[in-house]
Amino acid sequence: MFYDEAKIYVRGGDGGNGAVAFRREKYVPRGGPSGGDGGRGGSVILEADPGLRTLVDFHYRTHYRAERGEHGQGKNKHGRSAPDLVLRVPVGTVVRDAETNKILADLVYPGQQVVVAAGGRGGRGNARFATPWNQAPTFAEKGEPGEERWLLLELKLLADVGLIGLPNAGKSTLLSRISAARPKIADYPFTTLTPNLGVVRLDEEHSFVVADIPGLIEGAHRGAGLGLKFLRHIERTRILVHVLEVGLLTKEEVLRNFRIVNEELSHYSPKLLERPQVIAANKIDLPGGQENVEFIKASLGSSYRIFPISALKGEGIEPLLWYLTELLASLPETGPIILKDEYEETSVIKPPVTILRQGDVFLVSGPEVERRVAMTDFNNEAAVYRLQQALKRLGVEEALRRAGARPGDTVRIGNQEFEWQE
Ligand SMILES: Nc1nc2c(ncn2[C@@H]2O[C@H](COP(=O)(O)OP(=O)(O)OP(=O)(O)O)[C@@H](O)[C@H]2O)c(=O)[nH]1
Ligand SMILES: [Mg+2]
């Protein structure tokens, strides 16, 4: 099942208590204080895992607690700190505090982590409180409690281009025509119920990722049809392709349909309206198609690029794809749009610079890499392909450097970690 939301409770482990104890030795009747410190509680950490596709696991289990630290003991024995509890989430998961709704982290890099509930510090034992004035303190600190909070997890897929349009417009047909994806296609509305991703490969150098989502209808912002929630999966895309049916419809209907979809987009987020939007006028093979194309060119052509296509017959597709490639390359920023507002409450841990070996190919990822090269999402064919190209071009050392690594950094190759020395 595809689940793209979850609400979970996380709690860090409490710190262990410090101990109150005194040395007992044979000929020393009153030894000094010897209570050890308590251990630190485990933290709950979320980690982006490229092997995961949905948040389904968090529907079966909603409560996660890290273990507590051990208490300190006599003879200055410190309690053991508890291990962290690492929960894996899909790449593209936005983490919010459920109470404040603030974004704590947007986990877009494989291996990226965020501490969502820190474990409590261990309490100090009485040995730490001895002073010349009080050589036998009879008190110790209690461990601090672990942090706790409710989190909202929301998966927002990573793609370059998002397909929007009314149900039945031919979005899935287009995706299956331009990529290896095989979404369900049928002659009734709401065939697509969960998003599909496909990789478009134009040639060795050019590829991009397309997201196909369920159709929108008038009133979707009030919950009509499947509502607007699937728009979250095109929030990170840089370009929208509006699949607009032109066959077997009147001019007025075509124009009205175009407006309805944009109206719904604006209800979701006005930002989506600012994205470059390209019109794929679809089903030109059907009666009325060509005439309607001329009509929308006249009425919308000054604001939008319009490509007449037949997704079914495969007509007019190439020019659209090349245009999208050029448009993507011309945009100032590349790669996924990262969502953030407040990061200060939690600590986001950047992934270590990672090189993964797949056969003879090395893949590099890291926070500072040109973003396009940064996504080592193995399920994301396009990202893998880009990395392969970049590595061929740059060589491993240069790629490491671009990934933000410095000599002396810890580097991972496959499962092994080592220090990078020049
Ligand atoms: N004649 C013709 N039919 C098409 C064309 N493109 C799609 N269709 C048909 O239109 C119907 C709907 O296609 P889909 O690709 O499922 O449409 P969709 O936009 O993904 O629909 P939802 O998933 O319901 O939002 C199917 O019967 C397709 O065969 C086209 O270019 N010409
Ligand atoms: Mg569909």
Tokens of 1: 């099942």
Q: What are the structural domain ranges in the chain?
A: 5-155, 161-330, 352-419
pLDDT 10s per residue in the chain (422 long)? Answer: 789 999 999 999 999 999 999 988 777 767 889 999 999 999 999 998 878 889 999 999 999 999 999 999 999 999 999 999 999 999 899 999 999 888 888 888 777 788 899 999 999 999 999 988 888 899 999 999 999 999 999 999 888 899 999 999 999 999 999 998 899 999 999 999 999 988 888 887 788 889 999 999 999 999 999 999 999 999 989 999 999 999 999 999 999 999 999 999 999 998 899 999 999 999 999 999 999 999 999 999 999 999 999 999 999 999 999 999 999 888 876 556 777 664 444 555 544 455 544 433 344 444 443 333 333 444 445 555 555 555 566 666 776 666 566 676 666 655 556 666 76
State the binding site for GTP. Answer: 165-172, 190-194, 212-215, 282-285, 310-312
Pick out the residues of the known binding site: 165-172, 190-194, 212-215, 282-285, 310-312
Query: What's the 16 CA to ligand 2 centre distance in angstroms?
Result: 54
The residue among 412, 410, 365 whose CA lies nearest residue 421 is 410
Q: What are phi and psi of 321, to 5 degrees?
A: -65, -40
Rounded distance between C-alpha atoms, residue 205 and residue 198, angstroms = 17
Residue 334 phi, psi (nearest 5)? -120, 170
Ligand number nearest to the C-alpha of 215: 1
- Separation of CA 337 and ligand 2 centre (Å): 24
Residue 245: beta bridge partners?
282
Residue indicated by tokens 């994301």: 380
Taking the CA of residue 184 as reference, the ligand 1 atom at the shortest distance is 16
Extract the runs of DSSP E, i.e. beta strands, from 108-206.
Answer: 113-117, 148-155, 161-164, 196-201
User: Which ligand 1 atom sits nearest the alpha carbon of residue 163?
Assistant: 19
Ligand 1 pocket test, candidate residues 163, 166, 168, 261, most atoms within 8 A of CB: 168
If DSSP codes are grouped into helix, strand and coil, which group holds residue 421?
coil
Ligand 1 atom 4 nearest Cα: 312
Residue with tokens 């659209």: 320
pLDDT more than 70, % of the chain:
79
Residue nearest to atom 10 of ligand 1 (CA): 170
Ligand lying nearest the CA atom of residue 317: 1
Per the annotation, binding residues for Mg(2+) are 172, 192
The DSSP symbol for 22 reads: B
Q: Which sign does the torsion angle of CA 74, 144, 111, 8 carry?
A: positive
Name beta bridge partners: 11: 65, 148
Question: Ligand 2 centre from 313 Cα, in Å?
Answer: 17
User: 161-330: which CATH architecture?
Assistant: 3-Layer(aba) Sandwich (3.40)
Q: Which ligand minimizes its atom distance to the CA of 170?
A: 1
380, 209 contact by CB (below 8 A)? yes
Interface predicted TM-score (ipTM) = 1.00
- Kindly identify the ligand whose nearest atom is closest to the C-alpha of 220: 1
What is the whole-number distance in angstroms between the Cα of residue 297 and the centre of ligand 1?
22
- The span from the CA of 404 to the CA of 173, in Å, is 40
Are the CB atoms for 163 and 212 separated by under 8 Å?
Answer: yes
Q: Which atom of ligand 1 is nearest to the CA of 185?
A: 16
β pairing state of 207-212 and 277-282: unpaired
* 143 within 8 A of 14, measured Cβ to Cβ: yes
Q: 323 vs 161, 206, 234, CA distance in Å? A: 12, 12, 19
Q: How far is the CA of 175 from the centre of ligand 2 (A)?
A: 9
Q: Among positive and negative, which fits the CA dihedral 77, 78, 84, 85? A: positive
**Å from CA of 334 to ligand 2 middle:** 27
List the structure tokens of 224. 């009509």
Question: 317-330 vs 171-178: helix axis angle to the nearest 10?
Answer: 80
CB 157 within 8 A of CB 325: no
CA of 167, nearest ligand number: 1
Which residues line the pocket of ligand 1, CB cutoff 6 A?
Answer: 165, 167-173, 185-187, 189-192, 214-215, 247, 282-283, 285-286, 310-312
CB atoms within 10 A of CB 161: 26
SS3 content of the chain, % helix, strand, coil (to 5): 25, 25, 50
Beta bridge partners of 363: 356
Query: How many angstroms separate the alpha carbon of residue 210 from the centre of ligand 2?
Result: 13
Separation between Cα atoms, residue 261 and residue 221, nearest integer Å: 11
Distance CA 331, CA 16 (A): 53
Instruction: Give distance in angstroms: CA of 204 to centre of ligand 2.
Output: 28
**DSSP H helices in 236-316:** 251-268, 270-274, 289-300
Q: Which residues have their alpha-adjacent CB atom under 5 A from ion ligand 2?
A: 171-172, 191-192
Architecture of domain 5-155: Distorted Sandwich (2.70)
Best residue among 241, 312, 313 to mutate for probing ligand 1, ranked by most atoms within 8 Å of CB: 312
Q: How far is the CA of 270 from the centre of ligand 1 (A)?
A: 27
Element (H, E) at 390: helix 381-394
Measured between alpha carbons, how far is 173 from 248 in angstroms, rounded to an integer? Answer: 17
C-beta of residue 56 within 8 angstroms of C-beta of residue 76: no
Show the tokens assigned to 227.
Answer: 């509502």
Please tell me the distance from the alpha carbon of residue 301 to that of residue 61, in angstroms, as a whole number. Answer: 51
